[in-house]
Amino acid sequence: MQNIIEVKNLSKSYDDGTVALNGVTFSVRKGEFMAIMGPSGSGKSTLLHLLGLLDIPTKGSYHLDGHPISSYSDIDLARIRNHHLGFVFQSFNLLPRTSVLENVKLPLFYSTVPEIEWEMKAKKAVEDVGLGHRMFHEPAELSGGEKQRVAIARALVNDPDIIFADEPTGNLDSKSGKNVMAIIQHLNEEHGKTIILITHETSTAEHSERIIHLIDGEIDSDHKVRNRLKTTDQYVK
Amino acid sequence: MTWKHIIKTSLTGLSTNRSRSFLTILGIVIGITSIMLVVSLGAGAQNLILGQIQGLGSNTLTVHAGREPSGPSDVSFLYSDSLKEKDVIALKNKTNVPGLKSIMPSVFGAVTVSYGSNSYQTSIFGCTDLVVDIMDLNPIGEFFTEQDVSSRSDTVVLGSKVVEHIFDNEDPIGQKVKIKGRNFKVIGTLPASGGGSIFNFDDMVLVPYTTAQYYILGQKHFSEIIMQAVSDIAVPSTAEDIKTTLRESHGITDPTKDDFNVSTQQDLAKRLGTITSILTYFLVAVASIALFVGGVGIMNIMLVAVTERTREIGLRKALGATNKDILSQFLIEAICLTVMGGIIGIFLGSVLAFAISFGLSKGLGVDWQYIFPWSGAMLGFGVSALIGLIFGGYPASQASKKSPIEALRYE
């Protein structure tokens, strides 16, 4: 299997001397479902930001799909984020007073996808997360679980290779959380998306194939999940 | 990102904060409104003034006795007696002034007019029948003729105010009034002009200039000689011919020692036009201060909006927006704001200017015409967009420089 992500000695330190990440080395296969765990301040968010091209490392190398990211300009990075990466955040980050459909269309604004296909692609993504009946509602009218599904639809609309999920169930009740995990699992198994998930809940992490534990910016353990949790819940309402 | 979507996104951003957007553009609205108002009313005033001058005939030339006053306290020109009958004869000579169409000597003075026991102090204007044509008068009754002028007849035409003062509801025409102890027959009157014109005949009595010279003022010289050129184009050359002729007649070789001066309606129109233009520009400059303050308001609010929407900026960047995309979004938002303010200002300004024009023409009875200031509107539109670009530029560049993770982390 080809490695979609390869990081060697990846480090990130800040001007004030704080070391958020200290020489992390690992690789991720294409289609792998990986979870990153660790206590707060362990550097897991920093790692996700580096992997998601939202931040640049101070040391080390990062090859994405075989290419060193250090060779890319800011505009290249924006294009790669748009075309190949999808993000799901703990706090949803939907645009207020903007319909579900328009929210999902957002990444298409910045893409090279012809405008004529936007509506169709966005509608399909909304339907894929089971929110076809909420297409024209605004985020304020949705439950937390529904909001996160909109965010997933938005991450999917450009058909990315990797989905980064930063505590996607952190703000949700357990039922909605399970529902969201079911969708993410489905995306991994049925659509072959590579998933990088950050969580501090073991139950959430155990949906993945592999868990990396970070402590103080370094990898503490990297192991396969023996008894993967399979959510059989029907997520479509 | 296409322009269509940048604009759509910007409008959505603005409409989420409707009342704030409105208050933000208020400064621009006020600035553009005042510019529109000033430009429109300035053009109206200019039109009115020029219209009145044109009403006196743009082919009219006037020779005043005395040299041109050297300053406000120089009154020597008042006491000059340099214009005489021989000058009129010289000017009438076609070989001297080929562009001359008509000529009217005139005299001014102060007199007391009485009828019965009523008397009234007023001005006297000695002229010929040509005054009707030159000054565009509409006398009621008759006016004295060339014959009256050459025979020094005792006929008089009264201004409306004079009639009001000495006749009590009596028809003045045919009555005799006394001026300097001499009886004059009232052959006509002049209707009230409304007071809006430059040359006010309401408070004046008109007699043949010969009569005024010999029987009333006792002088042989003229106050002014009013002339008409054959056409508007002939005015400048005719003015030169008049000067040459008069210098010759007065034996003057040095033009700086002229004991007369020639003015044309065209000069006057040009001078007044320049004055109103300068006034308008000055007022526009004052109104621009409001625009500048409005621009600072825009910058202030846009900076607040950028801070407020830090998360949105981070999200957009995470989803693939480049710095340029973010910059355009916030810049277009600022320009949309100011252009909207500009459009409202243009609308308000023209409505207000129309209302004021209407009020002035009805209230003062002057022929004040409403002018839609296209130049002011174009200027207002361009300036408001420019203000958006300038004052929105800084907040927009601040927005575009935000790092996506800083922005996403922002609470």
HEC-encoded secondary structure of A36-50: EECCCCCCHHHHHHH
Interface-testing mutation among B12, B20, B319, B326, with chain A (most A C-beta atoms within 10 A): B319
Q: Note the pLDDT of residue A233.
A: 52
- In this prediction, residues B77-94 reach a mean pLDDT of 80
Q: H/E element holding B39? A: helix B18-55
B104: helix, coil or strand?
A: strand
Closest partner CB to A93 (pick from B12, B311, B323): B311
Residue scoring higher pLDDT (A230 or A94) = A94
Q: Which of A:178-237 have CB within 8 Å of B?
A: none
Are B159 and B211 in contact, with CB atoms under 8 Å apart?
no
Lowest mean pLDDT among A84-88, B5-9, B243-247: B5-9
Position A158 pLDDT exceeds 60: yes
Greatest mean pLDDT among A103-112, B162-171, B290-299 lies in A103-112
For residues A132 and A126, give the distance between their C-alpha atoms in angstroms, rounded to a whole number: 6
Whether B320 contacts chain A with CB within 8 A: yes
Confidence grade of residue A237 (pLDDT, cut at 50, 70, 90): very low
Residue B381 to chain A, least CA–CA distance (Å) = 29
Residue B336 to chain A, least CA–CA distance (Å) = 19
Confidence grade of residue A123 (pLDDT, cut at 50, 70, 90): very high
Residue B385 to chain A, least CA–CA distance (Å) = 25
For residues B366 and A116, give the distance between their C-alpha atoms in angstroms, rounded to a whole number: 61
Confidence grade of residue A111 (pLDDT, cut at 50, 70, 90): very high
Mean pLDDT in chain B?
85
* Residue closest to B376 by CA, chosen among B339, B345, B337: B345
Q: Which of A:61-90 have CB within 8 Å of B?
A: 74-75, 78-79, 81-83, 87, 89
Position B411 pLDDT exceeds 90: no
- Asked if B405 and A49 come within 8 Å (Cβ–Cβ), the reply is yes
For residues A215 and A222, give the distance between their C-alpha atoms in angstroms, rounded to a whole number: 12
Question: For residue B97, what are the contacts with CB-CB under 8 A and spacing of at least 6?
Answer: B91, B238, B241, B242, B245
Q: Which amino acid is at B9?
A: T
Q: Note the pLDDT of residue B301.
A: 87
Confidence grade of residue A147 (pLDDT, cut at 50, 70, 90): very high
Q: What's CA B51's distance to the chain center, in Å?
A: 9
DSSP B255: G
Whether B311 contacts chain A with CB within 8 A: yes
Q: Is the pTM of this model over 0.90?
A: no
Confidence grade of residue B11 (pLDDT, cut at 50, 70, 90): confident
Residue scoring higher pLDDT (B200 or A28) = A28
For residues B88 and B221, give the distance between their C-alpha atoms in angstroms, rounded to a whole number: 11
Residue B403 to chain A, least CA–CA distance (Å) = 8
A128: helix, coil or strand?
A: helix
Greatest mean pLDDT among B8-17, B60-69, B280-289 lies in B280-289
Burial A5-28 (b: 16+ CB within 10 A, else e): bbbeebbbbeeeeebbbbebebeb
Record the tokens describing residue B191, joined without a space: 């209707």
Are B89 and B237 in contact, with CB atoms under 8 Å apart?
no
Question: For residue A183, what are the contacts with CB-CB under 8 A and spacing of at least 6?
Answer: A129, A130, A149, A152, A235
For residues A7 and A153, give the distance between their C-alpha atoms in angstroms, rounded to a whole number: 28
- Asked if B320 and A54 come within 8 Å (Cβ–Cβ), the reply is no
* pLDDT tens string B105-156: 999 888 999 998 889 999 999 999 988 888 878 888 889 998 999 999 999 9
For residues B112 and B120, give the distance between their C-alpha atoms in angstroms, rounded to a whole number: 5
Closest partner CB to B320 (pick from A55, A79, A93): A79
Mean pLDDT in chain A?
91
Residue B320 to chain A, least CA–CA distance (Å) = 4
Alpha helices by DSSP H, A63-209: 74-84, 100-109, 118-128, 144-156, 174-191, 202-205
- Asked if A109 and B1 come within 8 Å (Cβ–Cβ), the reply is yes
DSSP A208: S
Record the tokens describing residue B108, joined without a space: 């001014």
Closest partner CB to A74 (pick from B9, B311, B323): B323
For residues B387 and A33, give the distance between their C-alpha atoms in angstroms, rounded to a whole number: 52
Position A235 pLDDT exceeds 60: no
Give CB contacts under 8 A, 24+ apart, made by A17-21.
Answer: A19/A217, A20/A46, A20/A217, A21/A46, A21/A47, A21/A50, A21/A57, A21/A217
* pLDDT tens string B251-299: 888 887 788 888 887 788 888 888 888 988 898 888 888 888 888 888 8
Whether A93 contacts chain B with CB within 8 A: yes
Whether B7 contacts chain A with CB within 8 A: no
Q: Note the pLDDT of residue B370.
A: 84
* Residue closest to B369 by CA, chosen among B135, B50, B35: B50
For residues A176 and A143, give the distance between their C-alpha atoms in angstroms, rounded to a whole number: 9
* Residue closest to A199 by CA, chosen among A87, A92, A93, A45: A45
Contacts of A111 in chain B (CB under 8 A): 320
Q: Which amino acid is at B219?
A: Q
Q: What is the DSSP string of A141-174?
A: GS-HHHHHHHHHHHHHTT--SEEEEESTTTTS-H
Q: H/E element holding B64? A: strand B60-65
CA geometry: angle at B254 spanning B250 and B257, to 5°?
70
Contacts of B16 in chain A (CB under 8 A): 96-97
| ipTM (interface predicted TM) | 0.91
Residue scoring higher pLDDT (A97 or A34) = A34
CA dihedral B340, B344, B350, B355 (to 10 degrees): 180
Confidence grade of residue A50 (pLDDT, cut at 50, 70, 90): very high
Greatest mean pLDDT among A193-197, B300-304, B306-310 lies in A193-197
